[in-house]
Amino acid sequence: MKIINWTLAAIIAFSLMACTSGTDNTTKHEVVTKTTTETTQAVTETTTEITEATTEVVENTTEAQPLADAKAQEEKVKTTTKKETPKKSEETSTTKPKQAAEKVKETVKREAEEAKNTAEKVTWETKEAVQTTTTTATETAKTIVKPIKEKVVTPPPPPKVENKPAPTPVVEKPAPKVEEKPIPKPKLPLSHEAWDALLRQHVSSTGTVSYSGFKSDNGKLQDYLDLLANNPPKSDWGRSKTMAYWINAYNAFTVKLILDNYPLGSITDLEGGKPWSKRWIKLGGQTYTLDQIEKEILLKKYKDARVHFAVNCAAKSCPALLNQAWTASNLESNFERQTKSFINNSQFNEISPKSAKVSQLFNWYANDFGDVKTFINKYANTQLKSNAKIDFMEYNWKLNE
């Protein structure tokens, strides 16, 4: 019994050590299961061996004891027989051996029964001990395996995910736009040299204008316009200087108007056919139209009809754009040259002594010219007679390029 108990204790201790030394939950489960099976098997094998040993002891006891008792009884009978008389020997030889044999037989039977009962008791107690030990080991194994099994099988709950609202994207506000004020250019004295250079480069002697050429020099043209804006006429300027200023301003801003809308078929395509009424020319502290410069300043103030041959309206039938700038020193000579050139050009006027077909300018601005025949005869190579018939040519508004 002690051997069985020590054996079971060692097996259980080994099982517990194997369970606790494992690192993997699944491995622990397998070790415990295997150990429990091995323990049960070992106990069963031990029980079987004990039962077999007990049976063998009983069998040996049953066979050996009667023989020993029989021999002892036989020796006793022999001794007694020698001492008694022959008569008693005969009686004893017939009666006592039978009784002795019966007694021995009963003794052997009784002892065999006791030995058998003892063996059965031992077997029963051994079975009880094995069963108790097996049950204890099984329960212990279950106690150990259950938490391990639960730990292995039961997955941990998934982490709780909080549904947080998506963060509102931060929209970076653009930095306030800082208006860069143009650096004021140093105020330069009035000069028409830049305009003169542009005219000589992009206008032919007959007045044909290269607007594509002007466009490539648009920056230079703008610099000249800025110079005019910063140097408006002053009260102490003389007639020639003031008139030259306004004639150059009219022609330069007309070219600028065409460039801003180029390519273009005709100036009349702009502003609903009335580009001369658009107020957009800034000079000094005021804003002007082309009509204001021509009619209200040059013609009205100075009352000189030759202004019509100095300003250019960007049309083929308009007096040619002079390919040089107007100045105080060349104002008078250019007036004369431009007027005479226009009147004697058959493209603009067809004149004979008895009749003439002249430009619409003489019709539209008749009041500026006074008597038209007298004005024409002053500059014409062919003089009109007083009774000559005057007609007017159709005006060509196509671009003068």
- Contacts of 254 by beta carbon, 8 Å cutoff, 6+ apart: 267, 290, 312, 313, 314
Q: Please compute the mean of the pLDDT values over residues 366-372 and round it to a whole number.
A: 96
Q: In this predicted structure, what is the pLDDT of residue 153?
A: 46
C-beta neighbour count of 336 within 10 angstroms: 12
Q: Please compute the mean of the pLDDT values over residues 355-369 and round it to a whole number.
A: 97
Which range is least confidently modeled, 43-57, 151-165, 282-296?
A: 43-57
pTM: 0.56
Residue pLDDT, tens place only, 309-321:
999 999 999 999 9
Residue pLDDT, tens place only, 275-285:
999 999 999 99
Q: In this predicted structure, what is the pLDDT of residue 239?
A: 98
Confidence of residue 92 (pLDDT cuts 50, 70, 90): very low
Q: What is the mean pLDDT of the chain?
A: 78
Which range is least confidently modeled, 84-93, 95-104, 153-162?
A: 84-93
Residue pLDDT, tens place only, 172-208:
666 666 666 666 556 789 999 999 999 999 999 999 9
Q: Tell me: pLDDT of 21 over 50.
A: no
User: CA–CA separation, 368 vs 303, rounded Å?
Assistant: 8
Best CA proximity match to 289, nearest among 327, 258, 254, 262: 254
Best CA proximity match to 50, nearest among 137, 108, 114, 133: 133
User: CA–CA separation, 76 vs 60, rounded Å?
Assistant: 25
Q: In this predicted structure, what is the pLDDT of residue 376?
A: 98
